[in-house]
Amino acid sequence: MKNVLEARQAGVNRRKRSFRDYAKYGYRILLGALFRRKVDQCGKLLRVAGGVTVSKAKHARLIIGDNVLLFKDTGFYLDSGEAVIEIGDHTFINRRSEIICKKHVKIGSHCAISWDVAIMDTDIHRIEGSADTKPTVIGDHVWIGNKAIILKGVTIGEGAVVAAGSVVSKDVAPYTLVAGVPAKLVREDVRWHV
Protein backbone atom coordinates (compact mmCIF):
# COMPACT_ATOMS: atom_id res chain seq x y z
CA MET A 1 0.00 0.00 0.00
CA LYS A 2 2.82 2.38 0.87
CA ASN A 3 4.47 1.74 -2.54
CA VAL A 4 1.21 2.56 -4.34
CA LEU A 5 0.93 5.87 -2.48
CA GLU A 6 4.59 6.71 -3.16
CA ALA A 7 4.18 5.91 -6.86
CA ARG A 8 1.02 8.01 -7.06
CA GLN A 9 2.76 10.92 -5.30
CA ALA A 10 5.77 10.64 -7.62
CA GLY A 11 3.37 10.89 -10.59
CA VAL A 12 1.80 14.01 -9.11
CA ASN A 13 5.23 15.55 -8.51
CA ARG A 14 6.25 14.91 -12.14
CA ARG A 15 3.16 16.63 -13.53
CA LYS A 16 4.10 19.65 -15.56
CA ARG A 17 2.91 22.79 -13.82
CA SER A 18 2.14 25.96 -15.73
CA PHE A 19 2.84 29.52 -14.68
CA ARG A 20 -0.88 29.83 -14.01
CA ASP A 21 -0.73 26.93 -11.49
CA TYR A 22 2.09 28.64 -9.60
CA ALA A 23 0.28 32.00 -9.69
CA LYS A 24 -2.91 30.42 -8.30
CA TYR A 25 -0.95 28.70 -5.52
CA GLY A 26 0.81 31.97 -4.64
CA TYR A 27 -2.48 33.87 -4.59
CA ARG A 28 -4.00 31.31 -2.22
CA ILE A 29 -0.97 31.62 0.09
CA LEU A 30 -1.39 35.42 0.04
CA LEU A 31 -5.10 35.18 0.90
CA GLY A 32 -4.19 32.70 3.65
CA ALA A 33 -1.70 35.17 5.12
CA LEU A 34 -4.40 37.86 5.17
CA PHE A 35 -6.95 35.43 6.63
CA ARG A 36 -4.65 34.71 9.61
CA ARG A 37 -5.94 37.91 11.24
CA LYS A 38 -9.29 36.17 11.79
CA VAL A 39 -7.72 33.05 13.32
CA ASP A 40 -6.62 32.58 16.93
CA GLN A 41 -3.97 29.97 16.14
CA CYS A 42 -2.73 28.97 12.70
CA GLY A 43 -0.13 26.58 11.33
CA LYS A 44 2.07 27.12 8.30
CA LEU A 45 0.97 27.36 4.66
CA LEU A 46 -2.71 28.16 5.14
CA ARG A 47 -4.26 28.54 1.68
CA VAL A 48 -7.53 30.34 1.04
CA ALA A 49 -9.25 30.21 -2.37
CA GLY A 50 -11.71 33.10 -2.14
CA GLY A 51 -13.81 34.82 0.50
CA VAL A 52 -14.30 32.92 3.77
CA THR A 53 -16.79 34.05 6.43
CA VAL A 54 -15.85 34.08 10.11
CA SER A 55 -18.51 35.14 12.61
CA LYS A 56 -17.05 34.97 16.12
CA ALA A 57 -18.35 35.84 19.55
CA LYS A 58 -15.86 37.47 21.91
CA HIS A 59 -13.44 34.88 23.38
CA ALA A 60 -14.40 32.20 20.81
CA ARG A 61 -11.42 30.41 19.22
CA LEU A 62 -10.70 29.28 15.65
CA ILE A 63 -7.64 26.99 15.47
CA ILE A 64 -6.24 25.86 12.11
CA GLY A 65 -3.36 23.40 11.54
CA ASP A 66 -0.62 23.22 8.90
CA ASN A 67 -1.30 23.08 5.14
CA VAL A 68 -5.05 23.63 5.39
CA LEU A 69 -6.98 24.70 2.27
CA LEU A 70 -10.24 26.66 2.58
CA PHE A 71 -12.28 27.21 -0.56
CA LYS A 72 -14.52 30.13 -1.48
CA ASP A 73 -17.63 30.82 0.63
CA THR A 74 -16.67 28.50 3.49
CA GLY A 75 -18.26 29.73 6.73
CA PHE A 76 -17.22 29.48 10.38
CA TYR A 77 -19.88 30.51 12.90
CA LEU A 78 -18.69 30.56 16.51
CA ASP A 79 -21.88 31.55 18.28
CA SER A 80 -20.76 31.75 21.92
CA GLY A 81 -17.78 32.94 23.91
CA GLU A 82 -16.82 29.35 24.72
CA ALA A 83 -16.98 28.09 21.12
CA VAL A 84 -13.87 26.38 19.73
CA ILE A 85 -13.43 25.11 16.17
CA GLU A 86 -10.27 23.06 15.50
CA ILE A 87 -9.11 21.95 12.06
CA GLY A 88 -6.20 19.50 11.75
CA ASP A 89 -3.23 19.48 9.38
CA HIS A 90 -3.63 18.86 5.62
CA THR A 91 -7.43 19.13 5.72
CA PHE A 92 -9.43 20.91 3.05
CA ILE A 93 -12.92 22.34 3.27
CA ASN A 94 -14.66 22.90 -0.03
CA ARG A 95 -17.04 25.60 -1.31
CA ARG A 96 -20.04 26.77 0.70
CA SER A 97 -19.46 24.37 3.60
CA GLU A 98 -20.34 25.71 7.05
CA ILE A 99 -19.28 24.87 10.58
CA ILE A 100 -21.65 26.09 13.30
CA CYS A 101 -20.32 25.91 16.85
CA LYS A 102 -21.46 26.89 20.33
CA LYS A 103 -19.00 24.71 22.32
CA HIS A 104 -16.61 22.48 20.35
CA VAL A 105 -16.21 21.15 16.82
CA LYS A 106 -13.01 19.26 16.03
CA ILE A 107 -11.98 18.11 12.55
CA GLY A 108 -8.93 15.86 12.31
CA SER A 109 -5.96 15.83 9.95
CA HIS A 110 -6.01 14.77 6.27
CA CYS A 111 -9.80 15.19 6.00
CA ALA A 112 -11.68 15.95 2.79
CA ILE A 113 -14.82 18.00 3.42
CA SER A 114 -16.78 18.37 0.18
CA TRP A 115 -18.94 21.32 -0.90
CA ASP A 116 -22.22 22.38 0.78
CA VAL A 117 -21.50 20.35 3.96
CA ALA A 118 -22.93 21.48 7.32
CA ILE A 119 -21.16 20.47 10.54
CA MET A 120 -22.64 21.56 13.86
CA ASP A 121 -22.51 20.97 17.60
CA THR A 122 -25.86 22.63 18.27
CA ASP A 123 -29.53 22.54 17.28
CA ILE A 124 -29.35 26.36 17.09
CA HIS A 125 -32.76 26.59 18.81
CA ARG A 126 -33.29 24.83 22.12
CA ILE A 127 -35.89 22.09 22.52
CA GLU A 128 -37.11 21.67 26.10
CA GLY A 129 -35.74 18.59 27.81
CA SER A 130 -32.71 18.14 25.55
CA ALA A 131 -29.18 19.51 25.56
CA ASP A 132 -28.85 22.24 22.97
CA THR A 133 -25.17 21.54 22.35
CA LYS A 134 -22.84 18.49 22.33
CA PRO A 135 -19.28 18.32 20.95
CA THR A 136 -18.87 17.06 17.40
CA VAL A 137 -15.64 15.23 16.53
CA ILE A 138 -14.46 14.16 13.10
CA GLY A 139 -11.42 11.86 13.20
CA ASP A 140 -8.35 11.84 10.96
CA HIS A 141 -8.56 10.94 7.25
CA VAL A 142 -12.36 11.27 7.02
CA TRP A 143 -14.10 12.00 3.71
CA ILE A 144 -17.46 13.77 3.88
CA GLY A 145 -19.44 13.89 0.63
CA ASN A 146 -21.26 16.95 -0.70
CA LYS A 147 -24.44 18.19 0.98
CA ALA A 148 -23.95 15.93 4.01
CA ILE A 149 -25.07 17.19 7.41
CA ILE A 150 -23.21 16.23 10.58
CA LEU A 151 -25.39 16.87 13.63
CA LYS A 152 -24.46 17.67 17.23
CA GLY A 153 -22.80 15.07 19.44
CA VAL A 154 -21.58 12.89 16.56
CA THR A 155 -18.12 11.30 16.52
CA ILE A 156 -16.90 10.08 13.12
CA GLY A 157 -14.07 7.56 13.41
CA GLU A 158 -10.75 7.62 11.59
CA GLY A 159 -10.84 6.72 7.89
CA ALA A 160 -14.65 6.79 7.64
CA VAL A 161 -16.56 7.96 4.57
CA VAL A 162 -19.89 9.81 4.71
CA ALA A 163 -21.79 9.56 1.41
CA ALA A 164 -23.20 12.63 -0.34
CA GLY A 165 -26.52 13.89 0.99
CA SER A 166 -26.34 11.91 4.24
CA VAL A 167 -27.63 13.19 7.58
CA VAL A 168 -25.37 11.83 10.33
CA SER A 169 -27.12 11.79 13.71
CA LYS A 170 -25.22 8.89 15.36
CA ASP A 171 -21.55 7.97 15.76
CA VAL A 172 -19.75 6.47 12.76
CA ALA A 173 -17.25 3.65 13.36
CA PRO A 174 -13.70 3.94 11.94
CA TYR A 175 -13.15 2.75 8.34
CA THR A 176 -16.83 2.45 7.50
CA LEU A 177 -19.05 3.95 4.80
CA VAL A 178 -22.38 5.43 5.88
CA ALA A 179 -25.16 6.79 3.68
CA GLY A 180 -28.76 7.93 3.82
CA VAL A 181 -31.18 9.94 5.92
CA PRO A 182 -30.52 9.10 8.68
CA ALA A 183 -27.07 7.73 7.80
CA LYS A 184 -26.72 3.96 8.16
CA LEU A 185 -23.80 1.56 7.73
CA VAL A 186 -23.30 0.54 4.10
CA ARG A 187 -19.83 -1.02 4.14
CA GLU A 188 -17.06 -1.88 6.58
CA ASP A 189 -13.27 -1.93 6.15
CA VAL A 190 -13.31 1.03 3.73
CA ARG A 191 -10.07 2.64 2.53
CA TRP A 192 -10.04 5.82 0.43
CA HIS A 193 -7.35 7.88 -1.32
CA VAL A 194 -7.22 11.38 -2.72
Q: Which residues are catalytic?
A: 125
38/113 Cα distance (integer angstroms): 21
Q: Which helix (H) or strand (E) holds 19?
A: helix 19-35
User: How far lies 33's CA from each of 44, 102, 188, 191, in Å?
Assistant: 9, 26, 40, 34
83-to-5, 27, 100, 135 alpha-carbon distances in Å: 37, 30, 9, 10
Pairing between β-strand 176-179 and β-strand 184-188 as defined by DSSP bridges: antiparallel
Strand segments (E) across 95-145: 98-101, 104-107, 112-113, 118-120, 136-138, 143-144
Q: How far is CA 37 from CA 34, 41, 54, 62, 95, in A?
A: 6, 10, 11, 11, 21
CA angle 126, 168, 103 (to 5 degrees): 45
The radius of gyration of the chain's CA atoms, rounded to the nearest angstrom, is 17
